[in-house]
């Protein structure tokens, strides 16, 4: 995060922190597109389920375009650190082996 930039509030959703503003924007876009699709289906006599699903998928696509990811992901070479993952494979106490 940039220094001096105001911090926006984050909400925990499924063990991840998300921006409240981006979450509300995405939910609004998805709900509006689904409702618009259902209105079109009602006026044209189409099947509500398929129109509603199409509206939801369209809302998801629009949300992906409007809300950009905030997380920077970097891939680290696996040979760079030899001790990565050794703590999980080595037991903390010696265990007895019974024949």
Residues 6+ apart with CB under 8 A from 33: 55, 56, 58, 59, 62
Residues 6+ apart with CB under 8 A from 83: none
Can you read off the two tokens belonging to residue 49?
């389920």
In a domain? residue 55: yes
Among residues 62, 56, 49, the alpha carbon closest in space to that of 31 is found at 56
Full-model pTM: 0.61
In a domain? residue 76: no
**pLDDT in 10s for each residue of the chain, 99 residues:** 455 566 778 888 888 888 889 999 999 999 999 999 999 999 998 899 999 999 999 999 999 999 888 777 788 887 655 555 555 555 555 555 555
Answer whether 46's CB lies under 8 Å from 40's CB.
yes
In a domain? residue 82: no
In a domain? residue 95: no
State the residue range of the domain holding 55. 10-71
- For the chain, the domain total comes to 1
In a domain? residue 33: yes
Which phi and psi angles does 13 have, rounded to 5°? -130, 120
In a domain? residue 89: no
In a domain? residue 40: yes
């Amino acid at each position: 995060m940039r220094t001096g930039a105001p911090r926006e509030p984050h909400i925990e959703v499924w063990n991840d922190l998300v921006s409240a503003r981006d979450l509300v924007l995405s939910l609004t876009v998805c709900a509006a597109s689904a409702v618009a699709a259902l209105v079109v289906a009602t006026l044209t006599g189409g099947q509500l389920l398929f129109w509603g699903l199409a509206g939801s998928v369209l809302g998801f696509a629009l949300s992906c375009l409007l809300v950009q990811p905030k997380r920077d992901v970097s891939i680290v070479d696996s040979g760079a650190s030899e001790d990565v993952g050794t703590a999980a494979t080595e037991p903390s106490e010696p265990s007895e082996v019974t024949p």
